[in-house]
A and B are shown apart, each in its own frame.
Chain A
Amino acid sequence: MNLHDRYDRTLLLNVVSVGRRSISSLVRRRFSRDEFWRQAESFSIGSLPLVLFSLFFVGIILILEYSFHMKLIIGNDELIPSFATMMLVRELTAIVTALLLTSRMGASTAAELGAMKNSEQLDAYRLLGTNPIDRFIAPRILACTLACVLLTFLALGVSILGAALAATIGLGFEWRSLGSSLALFTSYRDFLACGLKSLLFGVSIPLLSATIGLRARPGAEGVGRATTEAVVVTSLWIIFCDFLLTYALAQA
């Protein structure tokens, strides 16, 4: 980033340029290690209660609803453990985790960078010879990507646990039915798809929200707008990407 940088072009161009420079900062290892550890803690441990709690309930609700629908359509619900685990692995865990992370961390990332830009702290950093991308953005991208993948797989475990509990207590299945259906119906490709999705979402969240923060207009109003814009753009992008990936993987 140099002093001539302007963030008033279209969002796409800004995202590409911030992304390019973040990658080079990461590859050349110029990014700030301290900031990385701080962000990694805030992204992963800070979001852990929210993500695990929510996904636990998502698992329970999913299997109860599946049972209702399968009884309605086929007349029995014997297959729902496998359907529910498939749905959790392939689809819901990755997208719900990413949307939760977007609201929790994307908004605060945009607000923080927008406020720093508006109070001219970013210019001050540049004058001191520190590149804001190395200092603030590249560490966040790395931290959020790792945290998102990690949280998604933890959340997957917890949501399957929730589904198994609901199936055992509420629906009278055997405790092991979910484990065996996991082994039978999901292949490594489903887990790969889940990992791929969370990887993509994990990169998108800080990249988009930080860029939108850098584009904030002056004043408190501008920061507020940037914050909501960050949440909206990132969430829509996540849903859109999820659709594309699901579509592509369904064709493959």
Chain B
Amino acid sequence: MKAQWLPDALQATLEKATFLRRILSALVREPLERDELVSQFALVCWRSLPTTLVAGLFTGAILAIQFYLQLRGFGAENVLGGLNTSACIREVGPVLIAFMLAGKVGAYTSAELASMRVSDQIEALRSLGMHPLNFLVVPRFLAVTLSALVLLCFGLIVSVLGGLAAARLVGNINSTQYLSMLPRYIDGFSVAMAVIKSFVFGLLMALICCHNGYLCEAGTAGVGRAVRRTAVQSMFAIVVVDFVVSLLARGLQS
């Protein structure tokens, strides 16, 4: 069935790169639609904030329980706070929350753009003399990128609280003890890594959902296909980029 997935993947990557170039050139050449950008940004943040917070909270809690079970065997429960927070913000948190956002924000944005394309609204904008890429895609691209960054950072902060609560609940580790371990194991590098990952994941999500939505095939089936393609491509991209960033960070740190 998928006999040629490698050429397909390469082609999809190339198409994304071309589309990114188009977005950037529109960004540089055309005036920015400030109102649209601000309203999109507020909309995405507001809609996805509860989801992100719940996801972050439980991610932190689940990891804390697992780490507690492992550390208990060595009598090292007191480092739980540092270990859990570090693992959460460097690795597990960004990936899980980005998965969630890709399903929500990415799917929504690409469905919106795709239904505009299918119902010829994009052509209508063009015939009115507007630049549809600049009017529709550039604000969404920027808004999704920025709001993913903001949301991921919020989610990561909440994951610390989730871990704290779970440590209290399962391991009877009080919060001062838990928090006292944070400065020892979390340095600027880890925080920078979390922020960089959040930014890159947001950028990829935005690019993938805008591309698939804006250049969707005709018909309502095309909308569905665009949404599914967005979900699958975002997940692939997140996993691969997470791997690359972790590897680079490892190289830099040692």
Kindly state whether residue B83 has any CB partner on chain A within 8 Å: yes
Kindly state whether residue A135 has any CB partner on chain B within 8 Å: no
The digit string for A30-54, where 1 denotes a CB below 8 A from any CB of B, is 0000000000000001100110011
Q: Which residues of A contact B247 (CB under 8 A)?
A: 64
Q: Which residues of A contact B79 (CB under 8 A)?
A: 73
Q: Which residues of B contact A64 (CB under 8 A)?
A: 246-247, 250
Kindly state whether residue A141 has any CB partner on chain B within 8 Å: no
8 Å CB contact of B100 from A58, A235, A246: A235
The digit string for A153-183, where 1 denotes a CB below 8 A from any CB of B, is 0000000000000000000000000000000
Q: How many residues of chain A are within 8 Å of chain B by beta carbon?
A: 51
Q: Which residues of A contact B61 (CB under 8 A)?
A: 243
Asked if B253 and A220 sit within 8 Å, CB to CB, the answer is no
Tell me the complex Cα distance, A45–B3, Å: 13
Tell me the complex Cα distance, A183–B83, Å: 25
Q: Which residues of A contact B228 (CB under 8 A)?
A: 104, 107-108
Kindly state whether residue A12 has any CB partner on chain B within 8 Å: no
Q: How many residues of chain B are within 8 Å of chain A by beta carbon?
A: 57
Which among B12-20, B132-140, B230-238 touches the partner chain? B230-238
8 Å CB contact of B236 from A50, A61, A72, A232: A50
8 Å CB contact of A57 from B102, B115, B243: B243
Kindly state whether residue B145 has any CB partner on chain A within 8 Å: no
Tell me the complex Cα distance, A181–B76, Å: 20
Interface of B is mostly: helix
Tell me the complex Cα distance, A114–B223, Å: 13
Q: Which residues of A contact B169 (CB under 8 A)?
A: 247
Kindly state whether residue B82 has any CB partner on chain A within 8 Å: yes
Asked if A246 and B235 sit within 8 Å, CB to CB, the answer is no
Q: Which residues of B contact A228 (CB under 8 A)?
A: 103-104, 107-108, 111
8 Å CB contact of A224 from B1, B5, B108: B108
8 Å CB contact of B103 from A54, A111, A232, A247: A232
Kindly state whether residue A69 has any CB partner on chain B within 8 Å: yes
| Residue in chain A with minimal CB distance to B68 | A250
Kindly state whether residue B217 has any CB partner on chain A within 8 Å: no
Kindly state whether residue A25 has any CB partner on chain B within 8 Å: no
| Residue in chain A with minimal CB distance to B245 | A61
Q: How far is the CB of A159 from chain B (nearest CB, A)?
A: 12
Q: How far is the CB of B108 from chain A (nearest CB, A)?
A: 5
Q: Which residues of A contact B231 (CB under 8 A)?
A: 103-104, 107, 231
Kindly state whether residue A91 has any CB partner on chain B within 8 Å: yes
Kindly state whether residue B70 has any CB partner on chain A within 8 Å: yes
The digit string for B77-88, where 1 denotes a CB below 8 A from any CB of A, is 001001100110
Kindly state whether residue A74 has any CB partner on chain B within 8 Å: yes
The digit string for A107-141, where 1 denotes a CB below 8 A from any CB of B, is 11001100100000000000000000000000000
Enumerate 6 A-B pairs (CB-CB under 8 Å) in ascending A order. A45-B1, A49-B2, A95-B62, A103-B235, A235-B55, A247-B166
Known: A236-B54, A242-B58. 6 other contacts (CB 8 A): A69-B185, A103-B99, A103-B102, A220-B223, A224-B112, A239-B58
- Ranked nearest first, the 6 interchain pairs of A and B with the lowest CB-CB distance are A231-B103, A103-B231, A224-B111, A103-B103, A239-B58, A54-B239
